Structure 1
Amino acid sequence: MASNAPGQCCIEGVKHEGATKGSMIKVRGFDAYIVAPTGSIVHKNTAILYLPDYYSIYTNAQLIADQFAANGYYTIVPDVFCGDDFGKTPKGPDFALVPWLQSKHAPKDVEPVVDAALQHLAEEGYTKIGSVGYCFGAKYTIRYLAKGRGVSVGYVAHPSFVDEDELRAITGPLSITAAETDEIFPSEKRQKSEKILREIKVPFQINLYSGVSHGFSVRPDLSVRIEKFSKEAAFFQAVQWFNEYLV
């Protein structure tokens, strides 16, 4: 794999607080959070498909989506867990993350939700689609960056569960955010991913942030200076990437 299967670090972190600016809608029966550009910059016909981590649509994800909107991008966050994200699913003594994912949240379960979000964007007139994927969502950003799947530019942060063949199949520019301490996307996986990206000859970027661990770009402790700085830097990495390759 280009990244390992998820572990405990994928579900740890700090829940953030703040007023969100978007709204919840139904997209072909699935829940989604949408937010339109809120500032003076508006990138016409351009949208961000935000594929979230194991907590799906929650405050942290909504606030980041709002930030993309503030930078000119219409953004949609589909509930890829269909109401059964990690925060909501019952967890008895025998609960295990990977079997739960494989039995209830495999590609056959997730991709209809992603397809519905892409259809919504097409119906709204968005023709240039970038995708961001955090942890769990990274796998699907990469899967949909393959030819003909609707995404033309990708950004992923501390990816999990990505197969090498999935990475090898992408056809568009990809930016990757990585943490110094990350058992899911350790140095050997970063190096292997770089080797694959060099071989397939797509524009790519891999930024490594010291002093932080898996999940830092979404669920950091904002009272810790290096975590706050790295989270903000990772976000601007994504914005700069889309400004260069998507607009």
Structure 2
Amino acid sequence: MSVCEDCKKGFNWNGETVGTETTIGESQTYVTGTSKSAAILLVHDIFGWTFPNLRILADHFAKECNATVYIPNYFGDEIVQESTMDDPEKWAKFDVGAFIGRQNKEKRWPEIKAHAQILKTQYPKVGAVGYCYGGWACFQLGADPALIDCITMAHPSMVTKEEIAGVSVPVQINASEHDHAYTEELKEYGNKVIPTRGVPYEYVFYPGVRHGFAAKGDQSDGTQRVALERCKRATVNFFNEFLH
């Protein structure tokens, strides 16, 4: 399966969201939870800050991690509708490579860093979680303990070895067996280098699933459902350990 197919493929989940829309800095933001003791910055995948699946996950984290969770908009006016996943015409027209080129690291990193800095002035503890596109951002945040207290990610993409080697806070990686982005080479590198960084490290492996499972897996498929539920629990446990 190609990079474009993996990134565009997925399923919408059933569920009502309970958060509200506000702003952080100058960015539109979904916020959920009322905690004053901890915040979580969720860096979305290519389906952006309005993606209901990620808002559902944010609601879970807010409740189960005693945290206030923020999903800022990192793609500006360019919103990829979740219907792209099951509309053949939209799916065929969506050029993931070109999209990532427009929404590149250099363009979006200043916003992500600024949001972490804002949250650090408001909460005693701040963690970050990234899905797919958000993975590289978590690693960059994790290079500076003044920005973030811990990072976790599922099937991260756009990650470099230099970013992996720079991690300086507790880190969790939820890795799918089949992943064009977090490749076998990067998995091996991370599992070799991160333990030398002197920070707590948890690597969780999910057999039988592909890149994207934790954010848009098929809940009607037993293997995918078990994996995405297990990933949610692992993320909750990680945040409860390092944010409280």
Normalising by the residue count of structure 2, what TM-score does the alignment of the two structures yield?
0.88
1:217-241 deviation digits (Å, cap 9, x = unpaired): 1101111122111111101111111
**Which range moves more in the overlay, 20-29 or 57-66?**
20-29
Q: Contact (CA 8 Å) 1:7, 1:184: kept in 2 or not? A: no
How high is the sequence identity, in percent, across the aligned residues? 27
For residues 179 and 76 of structure 1, what CA distance do their matches in structure 2 show? 25
1:37-116 superposed matches below 5 A: 37=34, 44-57=36-49, 58-71=51-64, 72-87=66-81, 96-102=95-101, 104-116=102-114
Alpha-carbon offset, residue 120 of structure 1? 4.1
Q: Against the structure 1 CA distance between its residues 149 and 85, is the aligned structure 2 distance closer, same or farther, given a 3 Å change threshold?
A: farther
Consecutive unaligned residues in structure 1, runs of 5 or more: none
Q: Which letter maps to 1:73?
A: A
1:126 aligns with 123
For residues 162 and 6 of structure 1, what CA distance do their matches in structure 2 show? 14
SS of 2:151's partner is: strand
For residues 76 and 23 of structure 2, what CA distance do their matches in structure 1 show? 11
For residues 113 and 186 of structure 2, what CA distance do their matches in structure 1 show? 28
For residues 189 and 160 of structure 1, what CA distance do their matches in structure 2 show? 10
Q: Against the structure 1 CA distance between its residues 216 and 151, is the aligned structure 2 distance closer, same or farther, given a 3 Å change threshold?
A: same
Higher relative contact order (CA 8 A, sep 6+): 1
Q: Against the structure 1 CA distance between its residues 127 and 227, is the aligned structure 2 distance closer, same or farther, given a 3 Å change threshold?
A: same
Q: Against the structure 1 CA distance between its residues 199 and 95, is the aligned structure 2 distance closer, same or farther, given a 3 Å change threshold?
A: same
For residues 20 and 94 of structure 1, what CA distance do their matches in structure 2 show? 29
Q: Contact (CA 8 Å) 1:27, 1:116: kept in 2 or not? A: no
1:216-227 superposed matches below 5 A: 216-227=213-224
Normalising by the residue count of structure 1, what TM-score does the alignment of the two structures yield?
0.87
Alpha-carbon offset, residue 199 of structure 1? 2.8
Q: Which letter maps to 1:65?
A: A
For residues 93 and 58 of structure 2, what CA distance do their matches in structure 1 show? 34
SS of 1:175's partner is: strand
Q: Against the structure 1 CA distance between its residues 93 and 185, is the aligned structure 2 distance closer, same or farther, given a 3 Å change threshold?
A: closer
Q: Which has the higher helix share?
A: 2
Q: Contact (CA 8 Å) 2:145, 2:169: kept in 1 or not? A: no
Alpha-carbon offset, residue 149 of structure 1? 5.2
For residues 113 and 6 of structure 1, what CA distance do their matches in structure 2 show? 26
For residues 147 and 223 of structure 1, what CA distance do their matches in structure 2 show? 40
Q: Contact (CA 8 Å) 2:161, 2:186: kept in 1 or not? A: no
Q: Contact (CA 8 Å) 2:37, 2:123: kept in 1 or not? A: yes
Alpha-carbon offset, residue 198 of structure 1? 2.2
For residues 122 and 147 of structure 1, what CA distance do their matches in structure 2 show? 12
1:178-227 deviation digits (Å, cap 9, x = unpaired): 11122222333211111121232321111111121111111011111221
Q: Contact (CA 8 Å) 1:155, 1:174: kept in 2 or not? A: yes
1:133-169 deviation digits (Å, cap 9, x = unpaired): 0000011011011125511101010011101111111
Give the number of equivalent residue pairs. 235
1:176 aligns with 173
- 1:29 aligned onto 2:26: yes
Alpha-carbon offset, residue 245 of structure 1? 1.9
